[in-house]
Amino acid sequence: MGKARPRCTLVSLLFLLYGHGIMMTKVEATSKVHIVYLGEKQHDDPILTTNSHLDMLASVVESKEMASELMVHSYKHGFSGFAAKLTESQVQKVAQLPGVVRVIPNSFHKLQTTRSWDFLGLSSHSPVNALHNSSMGDGVIIGIFDTGIWPESKAFSDEGLGPIPSRWKGACEPGKQFDPKIHCNRKIIGARWIIDGMLADYGQQLNTSGNQEFLSPRDANGHGTHLASTAAGAFVDNVSYKGLGLGTARGGAPRARLAIYKVCWSVFGGWCSAADVLKAFDEAIHDGVDVLSLSLGLPPPLFSDIDKRGGIDFGSFHAVAKGITVVCSAGNDGPSAQTVLNAAPWILSVAASTIDRAFPTAITLGNNKTFLGEAIFTGKEIGFRSLIYPEAKELNPKPPGACEYLSVNASMVAGKVVLCFTTVTVVPAAIVLSAAEVVKEAGGVGLIVAKNPSNDMYPCTNGFPCIEVDYEIGTRMLYYIRSTSFPVVKLSPSKTIVGKPVLAKVAHFSSRGPNSKSPAILKPDIAAPGVNILAAASPLDTFQDGGYVMHSGTSMAAPHVAGIVALLKAIHPDWSPAAIKSALVTTAWTNHPSGFPIFAEGSPQKLANPFDFGGGIANPNGAADPGLVYDMCTADYINYLCAMDYNITAISRLTGLPTVCPYEELSILDVNLPSITIPNLRNSTTLTRTVTNVGSSNSIYRAVIEPPFGTIVSVKPNVLVFNHKTKKINFTVTVTTAHQVNTGYLFGSITWTDGVHTVRSPLSVRTEILQPYISEN
């Protein structure tokens, strides 16, 4: 008889607080920051634990004074360990000390970069929605791990807010141009800056990188300010970006409180030390946050769930174990497959979508034909001017008409508008901005960029018009240029349209599944607005206008979901992170309210599937009343780790507790997720799920099955009857394939409905008759 699986109540992860100051001491050039993991903490007294860490390090570096200088962080909340700057020889000595489980090198995360809330059904003018039912998130505390905050922004006014929640244990830390007495209030209730890990490995003052930075919670980059205001910004009237998108700006949970953890710094465009990220988790858990929003991550290959170098997976496990929902961006490496980040099952990973808003920009040719491009062009109309395309004169691997290699001079383009074509599928903003600068410096008056269709845009500097069109329109313009001796064009300022006929899509840059680390775990989980999001900015952001700016990225999508989670937490304070994720996934939109399906940008554009947007685009009002949820606790995540066949010692390192996996073989397919992904179906497989009724006590749900093409799907039982005694019900799903060939993924769904609620789980199946690897058996 196998040992019983661990119960949720048996897992107890305790967290305490320890702070560490800025380390500016010069140390040996060959030393690097390493994280020393010691397993479960041995003391409840943080001072004793800190001293034990210093004593251990001192035994290697020969003095407690040197140990204090080398120590970067001491981790106290749920696991014991420290980060220190060590040479390779010191690493080897530390690794041999009694009690040391593992010593790993530090790693770095990169940043992932007001119509959206109305689009999501959270209009402030509607008296019946999740925004009002939650009192706008009042009392919920959202933690932001990013580049800090610009506290003077109107978005962070505390007008109308009550006292700071009494359970809050956090702090506002002083620093350069940041005075807690002035810059913290009843909205910004916590502000920490954590930099020791970055400084120790970077080895020089941050401002030498060429970017202004503040050794304080103040945001020089603007990324963190944008995210914080998106999640929980106050109402600010008459906000626009140079006249576009005019309206009232606010966050998803306007009455929620903000706790800022500045862990990312102006180094190479914005980097964050894993040692600092772990310390931020350590502090945030102790401080008492309810939700964490992280818009950062490491590109593939992904670290395993149990590898502390990843930082986010490791720290978020401990946060979720304490009931904190951790929301992360899914990454900006789409539309390629298997690029999704932050893929642990306890994390809520967010893809980016567009919204029902566009900025059409009229382009009128001399033949009186008008085309609509998209731009953020708010300057004066450019009357009819010459239109040129830089033709190649000879064979050239870098054609002059390609936007990436645009080659023009003043005699060629002065006073003219230039058309160029991109030669890459995914067009970074830098290509458009660079091409615009080339044209502008040569005396040109405008740029038209023909590219793969997508909706994310960046304004060019000083109102210079750079208008984006797709290849079809660009080609028609090129034919016009080649067909006339004197081609001319007129560029009109952009306009704002919302609602029909604009349909939301998954953004082309949004990273896609399947999950490269664990294909049976669907990632991303959900999608949310992340394209041309108007939110607060740092005045140092070169694109800001009146304290606000439009940015795009899954970075912008994650705080949308963090704001929604805050509303759900206010309505359902007893829901676990897994229940909240389930509510979002099973109620998400897969079609527009008009009935049209949601597409995903790419080459070509296609119908969106679960690897593009998980359950769909977040539906906050539906998630507030999902009917059923697929709940999980720490023990379930431990079973997942066992099913992944991770080393028992490594699992124990992650949990901070001795762990024993069950003798019976566990299947990843049985992890109680609100989705089902079968990456290697051969003939037939059966899996289990458990649903918990969070709706009316007496209710009956019936299964509605949409099987993937060529499969037979059955559910037993196919009717679930709940009453005041029966709150949870198990069911099995059997999927059988008729295919005798290897296929790509095919998609369907399993939906439970009681006539009021629709609880939909995406189903993804790939048939693999011939396995791509050789079994060890």
Residue owning tokens 């870098």: 398
Pairing mode of beta strands 699-706, 325-329: unpaired
Active site residue 724: no
190 membership: H or E segment, kind and range: strand 188-193
Give me 205's structure tokens.
């003052």
613, 600 contact by CB (below 8 A): yes
Which entry of 223, 286, 551, 560 is annotated as an active-site residue? 223
Cα–Cα distances in angstroms (integers) from residue 600 to residues 171, 506, 511, 607, 730, in the given order: 42, 4, 11, 6, 34
Active site residue 684: no
Residue 512 in 3-state DSSP? coil
Among residues 319, 250, 333, 335, which one has the least CA distance to residue 286?
Answer: 319
Query: What is the Cβ-side half-sphere exposure of residue 559, based on CA atoms within 13 angstroms?
Result: 40
351, 524 contact by CB (below 8 A): yes
Instruction: Say which amino acid occupies 571.
Output: I
Active site residue 555: yes
Among residues 634, 638, 738, 751, which one has the least CA distance to residue 689?
Answer: 751
488, 475 contact by CB (below 8 A): no
Residue 285 in 3-state DSSP? helix
106, 201 contact by CB (below 8 A): yes
Contacts of 320 (CB under 8 A, 6+ apart): 326, 346, 347, 577, 634, 637
Among residues 668, 705, 682, which one has the least CA distance to residue 765?
Answer: 682
- Which three-class secondary structure string do you get for 407-428? CCCHHHHCCCEEEEECCCCCCC
How far is it, in rounded angstroms, from Cα 25 to Cα 22? 9
How far is it, in rounded angstroms, from Cα 534 to Cα 531? 9
Among residues 223, 247, 222, which one has the least CA distance to residue 235?
Answer: 247
Cis peptide before 501 (omega within 30 of 0): yes
The number of residues making up the chain comes to 777
**533: which strand partners?**
551
| Sign of the alpha-carbon dihedral angle for 119, 121, 122, 126 | positive
Which entry of 138, 146, 287, 670 is annotated as an active-site residue? 146
How far is it, in rounded angstroms, from Cα 68 to Cα 77? 20
Phi/psi of residue 262, each to 5°? -80, 105
Which entry of 153, 353, 555, 576 is annotated as an active-site residue? 555
Phi/psi of residue 679, each to 5°? -80, -15
Contacts of 725 (CB under 8 A, 6+ apart): none
How far is it, in rounded angstroms, from Cα 154 to Cα 712? 56
Residue owning tokens 């696991």: 79
Give me 630's structure tokens.
């697929």
Give me 418's structure tokens.
């230039």
- Burial class of residue 125 in the structure, from the number of CB atoms within 10 Å of its CB (0-12 exposed, 13-18 middle, 19+ buried): exposed
Instruction: Say which amino acid occupies 514.
Output: P
The residues that are catalytic are 146, 223, 555
